[in-house]
Amino acid sequence: MNPIPYGKQHITEEDINAVIEVLKSDYLTQGPTILAFEHAFAQYIGAKYAVAVSNGTAALHLAALALDVKDGDKVITTPITFAASANCIRYCGGEVVFADIDEETYLLDIEKVKKLLEASPKGTYKGIVPVDFAGKAVDQEAFRELADEYGLWIIEDACHAPGGFFIDRNGDKQLCGNGKLADLSIFSFHPVKHIATGEGGMITTDNEELYKKLIKLRTHGITRETSLFENTPEFACGTESEVYPGWYMEMQALGYNYRITDFQAALGLSQLKKADKGLQRRVEIARKYDNAFKDVAGITSQLNELTNEHSGHAYHLYVIQVENRLGLYNYLKDQQIFAQVHYIPTHLMPYYREQGWKEGDFPIAEAYYKRCLSLPMYPSMTDEQQNYVIEKIINFVNS
């Protein structure tokens, strides 16, 4: 059996041809393919606006900047996430406050967040960064109500969940990142994600003001929109004039170069056409794992409350918990199966230990970390490969 990774990209001839077409065009960056990708992604997610950027971390950073995170601002997030979900707040000088996860869903526990908010005067906290971990949608409706009560903004980290959703109290489907509940939502296009562009990210929102800020901050804080110019046409021209010259632009804020390229956008646009098919395959793989492990003592999987044919889970990851995680990891590695761990609790990374966090702060997250293992999950995984993975896991657990 060839090596089986926990995740990988699936690139087709159509994808390759889309990239080649852009490479032969006049625009490698700041061209029309980026705008086409943004429009198509916004439509897919159900949001009014989308801003493509260089990676998911850049998306998080720009989101925090657009929401004016500044020195001392306290923001709540989960310890079970990639570090960037917290780091984006630190980049802006804010203070990250973690809250524990739910034992069954592995998502940020809203009851723990409520306790933090209730224990401090209103205004102490500025925002919340819930994460759709592994592809399971956070109940953004509940978080929105809580955020509104305390005057907080929400950045939804939906990197794991394009196409994922939850059912709101009216029985309506709410897609992750659709702009209806979170102020800003962010996505990643890393190769192991649902849509791959090599590196790349996207921010979605329904808020026009935030959208315009993101566009400016993405490119050094520069605008070329004449209606927004602050200097006079006379200054811009260097002589008496009532009209701005064609070369003129203004840097109005301290922004960054967080642009994506047109050939990356071409790959993303091509991948987006197959996103639903890829998601369907992920769900099929997850169902097979569910059925294989449901009666196996010693294996616990992430809770899914919904029982319809598509649970709303986008299955970026399929996570199990086992007692002897290290033993299983090494055994699978010997069998050419390369599982992974998601995640080392962020609050116990050395950088955050220096901020005062310590072992014992979040017992559920820490207990989860000791037992969690992400199994191979990607659309091009064959039935033969999955059967092999299942067989080896059951052999180990029963030995």
Preceding peptide of 343 cis, ω within 30°? yes
With beta carbons less than 8 A apart as the criterion, state whether 56 and 156 touch: no
Tokens representing 91 are 């980049």
The whole-angstrom separation of Cα 237 and Cα 231 is 10
> What is the Cα 310 distance to its own chain's centre?
20
* Angle, alpha carbons 92-98-103 (nearest 5°): 145
The DSSP letter of residue 228 is G
Q: Strand 49-53: give its sheet, edge to edge.
A: 49-53, 201-205, 184-188, 153-157, 125-129, 74-77, 95-98
Phi-psi region of 360 (alpha: psi -120 to 50; beta: other; left: phi over 0): left
Q: Which residues are catalytic?
A: 193
**b vs e for 306-323, b when ≥16 Cβ sit within 10 Å of the residue's Cβ?**
eeeeebbbbbbbbbbbbe
Q: H-helix or E-strand containing 50?
A: strand 49-53
Q: Other C-beta atoms within 10 Å of 120: how many?
A: 12
Q: Which residue bears the tokens 């969940």?
A: 161
Quickly tell me which residue has 């014992």 as its tokens: 360
For 240-299, give the DSSP string: S-SS--TT--EE-S---B-PPBHHHHHHHHHHHTTHHHHHHHHHHHHHHHHHHHTT-TT-
